Amino acid sequence: MNPGRLKGPFGKPEVRAPTARQAALFDHTAIVERGVPEAALMENAGQRAALIVENLFPEGRVVALVGSGNNGGDALVCLRALSAWGRRVLAVTVGSRPRPDPVLHGWEIPCARFDAAGPEAAAELTQVLADAGVLVDGLLGTGIRGAPRAIHAEAIGAANRSAVAVVALDAPSGVDGTTGEVPGEAVRADVTVAFGWPKLGTLLHPGREYCGRVVAVEIGFPPPEAGDWARLATPGWAHQVLPRRPAVTHKYDVGALTIVAGSAMPGAAVLSARAAFRCGAGLVRVCASGHAAEVLGEVPEALFVDAGDEGALRNAVERSDALAIGPGLGTGTTALRQLKQVFRARGSRPSVIDADALTLLAHGADGGTELFLSGKTIVTPHPGEMASLTGGTVADVQGDRIATARNFAAAHGVVTLLKGAPSLAAGPDGRLLVSATEGGSDLAVAGMGDVLTGAIGSFLAQGVEPLPAAGLALHVTGRAASHDGMGAALMPSDVVQAIPAALSEEGDGHTDLPFPFVTFDQRHPT
């Protein structure tokens, strides 16, 4: 069965993404310190999961794999509700649970046990699942560390071999709720219903591949206190952050951006300039060597500045509200000299550093990080560039992308936007924004980074602070990339053309779930 397709992501303005530990600690805080009854949270979780199941998968018997912890209790409440509404249900308990189970409140639920690993027991479970229309995964939840035990692995394997749709509760069993790692067997879900907030590990790869459509539902948690929880750059958040133009204004009031580019690949500057205009910049200057002027004529709205003229270059920088440095810049001595001139003239102007400028920085350009990474700076490395900047390997970066970005941001006082799936932006104060747009391999095309750089620079020039500017650019370009569903045919110029449509989206985005308790809804990336 099709679990439903979204036109785009849905997300309220304040959607957080806690780690498994943060979620567990807040669960304890809500119950012990703030007086929220544990039974009420479980009741809400199970009831709302049941409504999601009934809406997306209205036919067939509902079978649940029920573990011994709270995740299993949520699954039993879900079955109890569905049974009361007339659905045929079956609970398959894996591990120990009390009989009768108190969460059922005396309600009779058909129950089977799966309490021994081995081929014979697995064959019996496979036969049970063959009669199911949908399977609810209430086996392990988000607290698992390491590979599932043998009996759980057998149950997960049987679930994955079945042809039925799977709805996971909070996280697919076997997926680490913090890192997204999958150290052993893991349930492959069609839909994951997250309680309170989507857990961070369900948004990170490889775990994201196991989650299907991720739907977060409000279950009665009180608002969390300010902390270092990751936040999602959702449509609702972006709608609040997006700068608005006053009714009466002129080009110098709505942001003057200078793009410091090169001549070897002038198309990079063209993409950045077009993206900057599309995102609302009032004036864009492009600094490059003289023989790039003909190509840059493709953007007649932009002002060309000969980067070889030191006075003209300095004047362009000093008359700007923000800088975008690096698209097609090159890595030779001329590029380095121009880069130094730009940074000496920039003062406190916010800047985004990308592409070749990052390469110069990573290779220890004279002046070091004190020259380049100062003031309101955003760096936008891909994993290879991040590895060069940190002196590590790509494997090191990918092994803990969040820690890598946060550590670099804190060490250098910059916002670090680490590209990937998903892209994320870390502030020097520990704040973290994770892109909620679906992304996907369609963005793996030369020039996409130049579009992102232009968008970031545009928002900086319009007065958006660095961390929100990075998150906003990720959201807008991500939505633009998925606007026409072009798939692998997508080109960076297509993204630029779709930016106005992405900017015109209002509110919290799109969901086909008719429930007010849904706070986040993200389809599986394609």
Report the candidate in 341, 435, 423, 344 with the shortest Cα–Cα distance to residue 380.
423
- Report yes or no: 32 and 213 within 8 Å, Cβ to Cβ: no
CA-to-CA distance for 408 and 432, rounded, in angstroms? 13
* Residues whose CB falls within 8 Å of the CB of residue 150, separated by 6 or more in sequence, listed in order: 117
**CATH for the stretch 10-227:** 3.40.50.10260
Quick one: pLDDT at residue 458?
98
Would the pLDDT of 222 be above 60? yes
Would the pLDDT of 365 be above 60? no
Quick one: pLDDT at residue 1?
40
Grouping H, G, I as helix, E, B as strand and the rest as coil, residue 458 is helix
Half-sphere exposure of 441 (CA within 13 A, CB side): 3
Quick one: pLDDT at residue 254?
81
Average pLDDT over residues 63-90: 97
Quick one: pLDDT at residue 326?
94
Quick one: pLDDT at residue 405?
97
Quick one: pLDDT at residue 45?
98
Q: What would the pLDDT profile of 6-51 be if each residue is shown by its tens digit?
A: 356 899 998 999 999 999 999 999 999 999 999 999 999 999 999 9
Report the candidate in 8, 151, 110 with the shortest Cα–Cα distance to residue 510.
8
Q: Where are the beta strands (DSSP E) in 296-393?
A: 303-306, 322-325, 351-353, 377-379
Q: How confident is the model at residue 228 (pLDDT cuts 50, 70, 90)?
A: confident
Domain boundaries, the chain: 10-227, 243-502
Q: Give Dmax (Cα) for the chain.
A: 83
Average pLDDT over residues 260-287: 93
Q: What would the pLDDT profile of 454-494 be if each residue is shown by its tens digit?
A: 999 999 999 999 999 999 999 999 999 887 677 778 899 99
Would the pLDDT of 438 be above 90? no
Average pLDDT over residues 286-313: 88
CATH architecture of 243-502: 3-Layer(aba) Sandwich (3.40)
Residue 136 region, left (φ>0) first, then alpha (ψ -120 to 50), else beta?
Answer: beta
DSSP H helices, 185-261, are: 235-241
Would the pLDDT of 235 be above 60? yes
Q: What is the pTM of this model?
A: 0.92
pLDDT mean across residues, the chain: 90
Grouping H, G, I as helix, E, B as strand and the rest as coil, residue 65 is strand
Quick one: pLDDT at residue 441?
60
Instruction: Quote the distance between the C-alpha of residue 146 and its chain's center.
Output: 24
Quick one: pLDDT at residue 2?
45
Average pLDDT over residues 99-121: 84
Would the pLDDT of 3 be above 60? no
Would the pLDDT of 381 be above 60? yes
Residue 453 region, left (φ>0) first, then alpha (ψ -120 to 50), else beta?
Answer: alpha
For the chain, what percent of residues have pLDDT higher than 90? Answer: 72
> What token pair was written down for 116?
């021994």
Return the minimum-mean-pLDDT range out of 58-67, 173-182, 230-239, 504-513.
504-513
Q: What would the pLDDT profile of 334-357 be if each residue is shown by its tens digit?
A: 888 888 899 889 989 999 999 899
Instruction: Quote the distance between the C-alpha of residue 467 and its chain's center.
Output: 14
Would the pLDDT of 368 be above 80? no
DSSP H helices, 250-351, are: 266-278, 293-296, 310-318, 333-345
